[in-house]
A and B are shown apart, each in its own frame.
Chain A
Amino acid sequence: MIEIENLQKRYLRKHVLRGVSFTVEPGLITCLAGLNGAGKSTILKAIMGLVPVDGGSIRIDGRETALHLTGNRGQLNRYRALKVAFIPDRPAMPPSMKVGEALRFMADFYPAIWNEEKARDMLAFFELGEGERLGSLSRGTAAKFNLVLGLALETPYVLMDEPFSGIDLFSREAIADVFSTGWLEGRGVLITTHEIREVEHLIDRVVLLKDGVVAKTFDSEEMRLAENKSIVDIMREVYRP
């Protein structure tokens, strides 16, 4: 489990996170939602150790990983890399690289956790060719390729930052289909998205951020069962003034 507790983050005068607490559980898809600038990406980056936080704790399978609470950065980075895969919302590899070269890079860089077979299966699923140059991929195709790079890492947790943002309808559908496959099986997935309708049927839990704290957390099926409300209904209740 990833346990986020009382996370605090300021950017200059802006107090973005004012004590955020929630968990990411194995085997569940958790969606972190919030309006623009609510700090969703900051939370993902904090979990990855890419931005320092000003307070609070981030435990990954019991081990504290918040930078301000722990020493030995190198050891921590290795631990984190084995536990969590991060799928960013923009290309993470140089544009001059070809698809096949990027796969070889991953295999060399993450020999212990890279699953070549899974990567090949996903390439075929998305109809991606190994000879294609990363710089010439459309935004939708680049987003799919990011997913291949992240999901082929055998980590217990996966973070996805806006996987549907700014891409065409069919790419969005293809990416949503990944959530129905066994590629995420047993893993704890944390996804941020504006396009909640794309994943309404696919997510297990919802965490709603508002004004720097978690305004509401719920299980989407239980909410539908108990109150006959969709995720979008609840978001309207929480965010509409």
Chain B
Amino acid sequence: MQPDEGFTFEFNSREPVYLQVVRHFKVWIATGRLKAGQTIPSRRELAVLAKINPNTAQRAYREMEEQRLIVTEGNSPSRITGDERVLRSVRSELLEEAVDRFLELIRPIDVSTDELVALVRQKHAARNGGNSGHD
């Protein structure tokens, strides 16, 4: 998990930093960049990597442990969970969050669900190299 492998952190100043760290991990889990069972950096390493306060790194890991995203057994390094249910729920959580944000953005615009879905389908297909249909 190194910056040159694309693991870079960006933070805004209004959300708690520890929750932003957790979100970064969720995105990497959902996109398969972090795999089930993969070892993650120590709290101290994470602080240096993300350029954050070690206390914040500690809090982010505690939060991820509570959400069962990571597991820490004894003195061994923390790992991404192997629990498939948790991993799947991360993906759906991120998707739902994104869709909620999208719906909030277009709320002022008068548009039917059918029109919206058609547009999403068309744009999504275009982005995926023109092959509409499944996925």
Contacts and interface: CB of A to CB of B under 8 A. Distances in A.
Interface in A170-186: 176-177, 179-182, 185
Contact of B17 (A28, A29, A181, A224): A224
Interface stretch (A32-40, A134-142, A199-207, A210-218): A199-207
B94 to A, nearest CB: 20
Contacts of B56: 201, 221
B17 A225 contact: no
Chain A interface size, under 10 / 10 to 19 / 20 to 34 / 35 or more: 20 to 34
A230 interface: yes
Contacts of A202: 51-53
Nearest to A223: B16
Nearest to A181: B48
A70 interface: no
Interface stretch (B7-15, B24-32, B81-89, B123-131): B7-15
DSSP class of A's interface residues: helix, strand, loop or mixed? loop
Contacts of B53: 29, 179-180, 201-204
B13 A232 contact: yes
Contacts of B13: 197, 200-201, 224, 230-232
Interface in B15-64: 15-19, 44, 47-48, 50-56, 59
B58 to A, nearest CB: 10
B59 A221 contact: yes
A75 interface: no
